[in-house]
Structure 1
Amino acid sequence: MIEVENISKTFGDTQILYDISAKFERGKSNLIIGASGTGKSVLLKSIVGLVMPEEGKVLYDGRKFLESDKEEKAQIRREIGMLFQGGALFDSKTIEENVQFPLDLLTDMSKEEKIDRVNNVLSRVGLENTNDKMPSEVSGGMKKRVGIARAIVNDINYLFCDEPNSGLDPRTSLLIDELIYEITHELNVTTIVVTHDMNSVMGIGEHIIYLSKGKKLWEGNSDNILDSGQEDLEDFIFASKFMKKLRKTL
């Protein structure tokens, strides 16, 4: 479980996050949603330590991350897997080398152990026999799957995904959502996904927090989000033409 308590963040004279508190449970796909510019990615970066909030606490299974010493922070970071918005693959490295990178950086595994682990996670995301391909030789959806393989190649307890469906067509987005959901439950990790994709929200939103202008306005799941009673959230949900038509039928 990851807990955030009273997180606030300001850049210059602009306050981005206001007193955010939430619990993200292990073995569930936890989503942070909201329109662009609402502070979703800043909250994610605050949780993983890429941004330092002025106020608040972040706890990883009870461990106070922000107050931890260098050694404990390093240990927690070794338990984290990250899927970045653009995939963030190294263009000059093969698929195998990209996935192996965290093992080179964080473990003392032998070369044979690393290759076995790389092959295992590539197989898990449906990319067998792609080891020698370059990122430029695979599709956008495949790059995201490589990113997932790299995120889980270590023995992780926490998985963070920043806009995993960005730039993907609806069919591929659905496949990525399903893969994240399956891995979350198979590995029993605490997964946090930042997204504004309503298909993801309705498909894998087991626990959802909704941010608007840096504040948490609602918390729930995909089963009760359509009955939130929050006008701001309803405007976000029904922004698309399709969802506006659905709204009229409810």
Structure 2
Amino acid sequence: MIKIKDISKSFDDKVVLESISGEFQKGKCNLIIGSSGTGKSVLLKCIVGLIAVDGGKVFYDMRNFSDADHDMKAEIRREIGMLFQGGALFDSKTVEKNVMFPLDILTKMKPDEKIDRVNFCLKRVGLENVGKKMPSEISGGMKKRVGIARAIVNNPAYLFCDEPNSGLDPQTSILIDELIQDITYELNTTTIVVTHDMNSVMGMGDNIMYLYKGHKLWEGSKDDVTHSGVRELDDFVFANKVMSALRDKL
């Protein structure tokens, strides 16, 4: 479980997050949703520690990450897997070397152990035959799956996914969502997904936090999101349904 308390962040004079609190549950897909520019990715980066918060605390299973010393933060980071928006693969490394990267920097595994783990993770995401290829030789959807393999290669307790479906067609998006959901349940991870895709929300939203202009306006499950009673969230859901209908007609 990850718990955040009163997280605030500003850039210059612009308030991006204001006193955000909540819990992200273990073994479930926890979604942070909202329109573009509402602070979703900034909140994710604050939780991971990529951005320093102005105020508030982040707890990883009761461990105070915000106030932890260097060694404790390093220990927690070794338990984190991250799927970046766009995949963020190294263009100069093979798929195999991309997936192996966290093992190289975070573990003391022997070379043959690393290869076995990389092959296992690539097989888990359905890419057992592409290890020797370069990122430029595979599709966008395959790059996202490589990114997932890299994110889970160190068997993380916490999995973070920033807009995993960005730039993907609807069918591939569903496959990525199902893969993230399956891995979450399989590994019993605390998974946090940032998205504005209502198909993702309705498909895997075990626990959902809705942000609007840097404020948390609602929290609940996919079963309740369509009748939240929050006007801004109702507008967000309706707009996404309209866009989805238009995409289906194209």
* Cα displacement (A) at 1:54: 1.1
Instruction: Sort the Cα spacing of 1:69 and 1:44 in 2 relative to 1 into closer, same or farther, 3 A.
Output: same
Query: What SS class does the counterpart of residue 38 from structure 1 fall into?
Result: coil
Q: Is the 8 A contact 1:8 1:19 kept in 2?
A: yes
Percentage of pairs with the same residue: 68
Aligned match of 1:120: 120
Aligned partners of 2:109, 2:212: CA distance in 1, in Å? 44
Aligned partners of 1:172, 1:193: CA distance in 2, in Å? 17
Matches within 5 A, 1:161-180: 161-180=161-180
Aligned match of 1:103: 103
Aligned partners of 1:62, 1:85: CA distance in 2, in Å? 28
1:194 is the counterpart of 2:199: no
Q: Is the 8 A contact 1:31 1:195 kept in 2?
A: yes
Q: Is the 8 A contact 1:237 1:243 kept in 2?
A: no
Instruction: Sort the Cα spacing of 1:34 and 1:108 in 2 relative to 1 into closer, same or farther, 3 A.
Output: same
Matches within 5 A, 1:97-246: 97-240=97-240, 242=242
Q: Which runs of 4+ in 1 moved over 2 A?
A: 240-245
Q: Give the TM-score of the pair, scaled to structure 2.
A: 0.96
* Cα displacement (A) at 1:30: 0.1
Instruction: Sort the Cα spacing of 1:192 and 1:244 in 2 relative to 1 into closer, same or farther, 3 A.
Output: closer
Query: What SS class does the counterpart of residue 217 from structure 1 fall into?
Result: strand
Aligned partners of 1:166, 1:232: CA distance in 2, in Å? 23
Aligned partners of 1:244, 1:130: CA distance in 2, in Å? 32
Q: Is the 8 A contact 1:238 1:244 kept in 2?
A: no
Q: Is the 8 A contact 2:197 2:240 kept in 1?
A: no
Aligned partners of 1:195, 1:207: CA distance in 2, in Å? 13
Aligned partners of 2:147, 2:47: CA distance in 1, in Å? 20
- Structure 2: which amino acid aligns with 1:6? D
Aligned partners of 1:226, 1:104: CA distance in 2, in Å? 44
Aligned match of 2:248: none
Aligned partners of 2:41, 2:62: CA distance in 1, in Å? 23
Aligned match of 2:17: 17
Aligned partners of 1:52, 1:17: CA distance in 2, in Å? 12
Aligned match of 1:94: 94
Aligned match of 1:64: 64
Aligned partners of 2:172, 2:155: CA distance in 1, in Å? 26
Q: Any gaps of 5 or more consecutive residues in structure 1?
A: 246-250
- Structure 2: which amino acid aligns with 1:179? L
* Cα displacement (A) at 1:155: 2.3
* Cα displacement (A) at 1:64: 0.3
Aligned partners of 1:2, 1:144: CA distance in 2, in Å? 24
Instruction: Sort the Cα spacing of 1:169 and 1:243 in 2 relative to 1 into closer, same or farther, 3 A.
Output: closer
Query: What SS class does the counterpart of residue 178 from structure 1 fall into?
Result: helix
Alignment length, in residue pairs? Answer: 245
- Structure 2: which amino acid aligns with 1:151? A
Aligned match of 2:28: 28
Query: What SS class does the counterpart of residue 191 from structure 1 fall into?
Result: strand
Q: Any gaps of 5 or more consecutive residues in structure 2?
A: 246-250
Q: Give the TM-score of the pair, scaled to structure 1.
A: 0.96
Q: Is the 8 A contact 2:30 2:192 kept in 1?
A: yes
Q: 1:61-120 CA distances to partner (integer Å, 9 max, x unpaired)? A: 000001000000000000000000010000010000000000011111111000000000
- Structure 1: which amino acid aligns with 2:163? E
Q: For structure 1, which segment, 236-245 or 214-223, has the greater mean C-alpha deviation from structure 2 after superposition? A: 236-245
* Cα displacement (A) at 1:244: 9.6
Aligned partners of 1:72, 1:194: CA distance in 2, in Å? 26
